[in-house]
Amino acid sequence: MVRYFYAWTPAFIVGTLCILALPWLGLIALFVVALAVLPALAWVIFFVPYMLVQAIRGRLQGESRAIPVTVAAQSPSMRQPALRRGLAS
């Protein structure tokens, strides 16, 4: 009967206003919203600064975490100076 989701918008708005108009239903709605907001707020307060500190610490350490490239790990052409400079034909 109703094809598009936006046709339900007036019913949703009126229903929300009716629920929030009743004091005890408003408290229930507030409690449900608080259950969703509190974990998100805790995540922002604890996890985001932790990740920021990790990013700064990684930038400060710089090359110390980089894996050194050994001669054995390079290809044979890179170990020969003539090929590295592009002198080979």
Tokens coding 83:
């090929």
Q: Taking residues 35-47, what's their average pLDDT?
A: 89
Q: Taking residues 2-21, what's their average pLDDT?
A: 81
Which residues are CB-neighbours of 84 under 8 A, at least 6 positions away? 77, 78
Res 2 pLDDT > 70: no
Distance of CA 28 to the CA centre of its chain: 31
Per the prediction, the chain carries an average pLDDT of 75
Categorize the per-residue pLDDT at 68 as very low, low, confident or very high, splitting at 50, 70 and 90.
low
Q: At 75, phi and psi to the nearest 5?
A: -70, 160
The pLDDT of residue 1: 55
